[in-house]
Structure 1
């Protein structure tokens, strides 16, 4: 399942991930809401709910970009047999990676962030602002498309607030 994500991630041992979760998203904009719900449930399960706001914003932007820019023009917005967009969340002890796989080979384009009144074009600026790094890489082998990922540094488990700790 994680083999496609080996391309384009920061130097991390995917086999050493302590947790991984993935969900397929259909080619419709309601999938952004589904991605947020999946992210909330996953972060709650991993005891990382304190990171939800930043991670959810980044996931929303990555999924929206995949739906808006990575699907072929005129592609049906009905759910195909194999949903074209997939969200992966991977956690190590001190890192969390959100990765969105889509069918396009085109590189993501960061637009000038100067015009905050613009209706679109701020997505990757927000991803860059709220994550600790992001990147992308084309998929190889039988899968076509790319993975766009964002990395979040996590406090060491001993430093994390938890039940009874503030």
Structure 2
């Protein structure tokens, strides 16, 4: 009998590391779609995709050194460090994880910043600043936790029990 370490793989935990580029938001949505469909929870996709998009966008904008006033290609660039092969390789990558523990699904996005997200006062004329309000509206609850060493994880909880949304309103119970 051999002595080895058995690693259990949980089929209801899925993670994806995202390259800090504009395409990361689309990759996060694609990851959410395929994971939720694999779990038979495709009906949750719209809400989870919206929240995942907002959380990944915030990570790109605030944690990876974003520039909102320049061309799109500069959004995720970080100044080069001497001896580094990639401008962002000294940072913890952005990671999205989905965890299904019936009757809930958690969407979690980790990034290298230790600064917690701050919901701004809603300004419906501004081009940005409403993301965390959307996260709050489309999830059951949300929050964040610092990670050991550096970085944080921002999470959103979703009810995975099927229910019919009320016409003209989002799915969160008021």
TM score, norm. by length of structure 1: 0.76
Change (3 A) 1:126 1:108: same
Deviations 1:67-122 (A, max 9, x none): 00111466158673876100010001101000000000111010112x22211101
Deviations 1:30-61 (A, max 9, x none): 11000000100000000000111011000000
Q: Give the aligned partner of residue 142 of structure 2.
A: 134
Query: Which ranges of 4 or more aligned residues in structure 1 deviate by more than 2 Å?
Result: 76-83
Question: Superposition pairs for residues 23-62 of structure 1, below 5 Å?
Answer: 23-62=16-55
1:71 to 64, 69, 85: 64
For structure 2, the 5+ residue unaligned runs are: 1-7, 67-76, 80-85, 165-174
How many aligned positions are there?
140
For structure 1, the 5+ residue unaligned runs are: 1-14, 162-166
Bigger radius of gyration among the two? 2
Q: Please report the RMSD computed on the Cα atoms of aligned residues, expressed in angstroms.
A: 2.5
Check if 1:152 corresponds to 2:155.
no
Q: Give the aligned partner of residue 11 of structure 1.
A: none
